[in-house]
Amino acid sequence: MNQIPGRIATTMKPDHLLFEKRHNPLAKILRRFTYLLTALAAAMLSSAAGSAQAALLIEQPYGFFGVVNPTGHSAIYFERICAETPLKLRRCQPGELGAVVSRYQGISGYDWVAIPLVPYLYSVENVASVQPRVLPLTVEHLRGRYHEAHLLGLGKNLRAGSLIKGGWTQLVGAAYERRIYVFRFQTAEEQDDALIARLNAAPNHSHFDLIVNNCADFARKQLNFYFPGTFKRGIFPDAGVSTPKQIAHKLARRAQKHPEMQLTVFEIPQIPGNRRPSRSNKDVDESLSTTLYAIPIAIVSPYLSGGLLVDYLFRGRYRILPKHPLVLAPDDLTAWARPPSTSHPQPAPLLSAENDAKSDTPLPALHGLSEPPSIFIAAPDSKEGNSGVASDKRLP
């Protein structure tokens, strides 16, 4: 073979072999199939690394103020967002369980405060220290110890709270006061980082108002950051006031249309011993129609009272909870941070009176499972079945 000087001799393939390699249909199919598998694997790894969980916390009303205002409290939990201080957020480090961010009244003029998950629920920093039953003096001691260790930066004159007005005691030990329902959904890494930057950069000054700027308004605005335009005030059934129950209802409605949210509902039971069991959450319509408020309203304006009653009967009797939600014991809090199953579970049946009789089969206990079953909440349209009595479907 003649070789051109300065070049390496190469073996030339026949033209018919090159034609077969380029135009073989089976080879094309194999190449495309390999490409699709590679892209799918990359997408799954990216999704697993970039997704996390957040949750809307619906906390039941309790005590004297819970009788006067039975709407309850709402907060937002973030798996990926932690509290560097109660007033500054950061990304969580491995092993951290995230933080609860919420708006409170009477916290030295601050609009929101962030508390790590375990202290927020139990006033301790380790779930191993949570007691199954507590006395009021024990709760006071646990709260005082956490306040001295972590909350003095909120101000030396920060009051503890009273029968009517809240104080720093509402920041920790929430599970000693009331039952809490967790509406967990999926978030993206970019969204969490953007929320951290937005809350840290914005002025943290309180303009708390029970009617137009309450705790549910704070939760509504943060959820709108993740799901723009979803959470708006309505004349009915809340007379233009944001309430925790209405926020949860709209979140469940959106999850029904967007199953990729992976909405799951848990219950965190109230630790007994500190006070009587908390009551179920109500919206404004339900509060006015089912309490003694209806009497003065009927005297002042019979037409308004009748309108509220009709709206309650036709629109206000919806439930936001499954009949037997999964109950989280303190040892099971890590279930919040577990990613939803990649398999697509069947949605739960509509939470209506028609299906209540069919939903008596208890859900499997969470304890010991590698992955909690997902419960997709459908658009509710019947009266909430929870009456404030503790569920008997406890974890072993």
Would you give per-residue pLDDT tens digits along the chain (396 residues)?
Answer: 455 454 444 444 555 544 454 556 666 666 665 545 554 444 444 344 456 789 999 999 988 777 777 889 999 999 999 999 999 999 999 989 999 999 988 888 899 999 999 999 999 999 999 999 999 999 999 999 999 999 998 887 788 876 666 688 989 999 999 999 999 999 999 999 999 999 999 999 988 888 888 899 999 999 999 999 888 877 666 667 888 988 998 999 999 999 999 999 999 999 999 999 998 888 766 766 556 556 666 676 676 667 767 766 666 666 777 778 889 989 888 766 554 444 443 333 333 333 333 333 333 333 332 334 334 333 334 344 443 333 333 333
Which pLDDT belongs to residue 146?
Answer: 95
Which domain covers residue 66, as residue numbers? 53-229+240-281+323-356
Q: Write down the pLDDT at residue 28.
A: 60
Note whether residue 264 is domain-resident: yes
Number of domains within the chain: 1
Q: Count the residues in the chain.
A: 396
Written as one letter, the residue type at 333 is L
What is the separation, in whole angstroms, between the first and last Cα of the chain?
A: 83
pTM over 0.85: no
Residue 318 lies in a domain: no
Residues 6+ apart with CB under 8 A from 356: 323, 382, 385
What six digits make up the tokens of 241?
């006031």
21 in a domain, yes or no?
A: no
**What pLDDT is recorded for position 225?**
95
Tokens of 261: 């949210």
What count of Cα atoms within 13 Å lies in the side-chain half-sphere of residue 368?
A: 4
* 337 φ/ψ angles, rounded to the nearest 5 degrees: -90, -5
Do 172 and 143 contact (CB within 8 A), yes or no?
Answer: yes
- Judge whether 290 lies within some domain: no
